[in-house]
Structure 1
Amino acid sequence: MKSTFNIYSVVVFVLLLFVSCERDNWHHIHGSGPVLTEERDVHPFYDVNISIPARIYFYQSAFPELTIKAQANILDAIETRIRRGELEIGLYNGAGLGKHETIEIYISSATYRNIRFSGSVDGWAETPLNVPEMNIFISGSGTFSGEVYAHYLSSSISGSGKLWLDGEVADQFHTISGSGDIYAFDLESETADIRISGSGKVEISVDDFLYADMSGSGTIYYRGYPDVESHISGSGKIIHINNK
């Protein structure tokens, strides 16, 4: 009886393992065929949420547009939808990507408020972005580069993401958890609030007031002559670059 039970247990285990492998293979998509271009219909949005590895090109224009370049079977797997003003771009049913040609996504909107990247997403603002406020969220190893003009700009990096920013804002607020970097010497601002947990690095320009809260080994380099208030726990450093 015990022997029969053991055999039954082994059979069930093997079947479950087989089903699990089949499910994983079904969800793992390898690109095939040439790269195609597809335009998708969209209505106005102001938030963007990207969760697939791709190159994202942002434009500011009067009318919303969305164009995707990818191999045919990957195009079929890319889901795009707009909910409550947010354009979401991901893969159907939690699928993953194997080997594939580079995915390129071109996004146009009259304005932007929140930009969210999850994973290995690289974004560029191909036109200057003039907005009331902008918030950039990077989780993973994503990057964003752009010229921004806003009253308020914030970013949050969790992981090893990187930002390159220029333009002009009144106030900027940045948080880094991990080893992320922000390069913003060319982003003029009146005030800045920087919070680093980990080994992140921030380069900023600020005129009036700089607040820094650091735990870990992060570094803040700043240009300008603001009043500075800092709270440092660990080996973090705040360094004045006197060449503004």
Structure 2
Amino acid sequence: MKSIRITSLIAVFALVLSSTIAFAQKTEDRKVRSFESISLSISAKVYVSQNEKTSVKIKGYSDDLDEIITEVDGSTLKIKRKKNRGWNWNSRSFKKVEVYISTPNVENLRISGSGNIIAKTPIESGSVDYAISGSGNIIIDKLKAENVECHISGSGDIRLKGECKDELEIHISGSGDIEAGNFEAKVADIHISGSGDCKVYASGSITARVAGSGDIYYRGNPKDVNCKSVGSGSIKSIGE
């Protein structure tokens, strides 16, 4: 009887230990070659910094990390989940995943899920293109670029601060918003066919078209203003 109890205790201890290991958080260094763009299709927080060295670190629970792929296709780093294993694996949500990315060049960002891409440190580039087709967000606190394109076809938001030396081009066909009131651009070209709102800064000229219910607010007192709304949305100047 005593040996049975000991055996049972050992079995319970082994089960608890294996569960603890499976759900323990860890950090992995993922080896990847150089890239210039990032595509995110999982629920994760991705922190991007611009540095000379390329590195990708991923933090989360062991069972989640085992199911996440980080691979470079062309010049794009893809962060995605492994393919289904005969059942709907995509219905399973990750508990908490964080990805820390360092790269010399950051040109294009794509989100097709509910994850977020965040850059808190300065990012400098030529032409960049940001796109959201899911509910995730792109937040760039200190961006300096020549030309910037933003596309939203989902419910996620894009928030930009910094400087655009030439043109900021925006397309919103979803319900997501773009906050770029503190992102100083010379030229702004905005098209809204959805319900998302947009706030921009343009010092030279602004071209704005609204065919949906979204609103456009602009500041910077641009000299050349070409605005037209054929939907229920509005276009308003909010001064400096």
TM-score by length of 1: 0.84
**Aligned residue number for residue 46 of structure 2:** 56
Q: Percent identity?
A: 37
**Which of these residues, 152, 161, 164, is aligned with residue 157 of structure 1?**
152
**Which of these residues, 121, 136, 140, is aligned with residue 127 of structure 1?**
121
Q: Which amino acid aligns with 2:129?
A: N
Q: Which runs of 5+ in 1 are unaligned?
A: 1-31
The answer to whether the aligner puts 1:198 opposite 2:190 as a matched pair is no
SS in 2 for 1:132: strand
- The residue correspondences of 1:1-244 to structure 2 (distance < 5 A) are 32-94=22-84, 95-96=89-90, 98-146=92-140, 147-169=142-164, 170-226=166-222, 227-242=224-239, 244=240
Deviations 1:168-197 (A, max 9, x none): 002100111121101111100100011111
CA RMSD of aligned residues (A): 1.4
Structure 1 position 101, deviation (Å): 2.3
Q: Contact 2:143 / 2:162 at 8 angstroms: preserved in 1?
A: yes
Rounded to whole Å, the distance in 2 between the matches of 1:189 and 1:143 is 21
Q: Contact 1:149 / 1:167 at 8 angstroms: preserved in 2?
A: yes
**Aligned residue number for residue 13 of structure 2:** none
Q: Which runs of 5+ in 2 are unaligned?
A: 1-21
How many corresponding residue pairs?
A: 213
Q: Which amino acid aligns with 2:66?
A: D
Q: Contact 1:129 / 1:149 at 8 angstroms: preserved in 2?
A: yes
Rounded to whole Å, the distance in 2 between the matches of 1:202 and 1:232 is 14
Q: Which amino acid aligns with 1:237?
A: S
* Segment drifting more, 91-100 vs 80-89: 91-100
Q: Contact 2:180 / 2:201 at 8 angstroms: preserved in 1?
A: yes
SS in 2 for 1:190: strand
SS in 1 for 2:193: strand
Q: Contact 2:48 / 2:119 at 8 angstroms: preserved in 1?
A: yes
SS in 2 for 1:42: coil
Structure 1 position 99, deviation (Å): 4.7
Rounded to whole Å, the distance in 1 between the matches of 2:54 and 2:40 is 16
Deviations 1:104-140 (A, max 9, x none): 0111110111110111011210211100111101111
SS in 2 for 1:93: coil
Q: Which amino acid aligns with 1:230?
A: C
Q: Which amino acid aligns with 1:234?
A: G
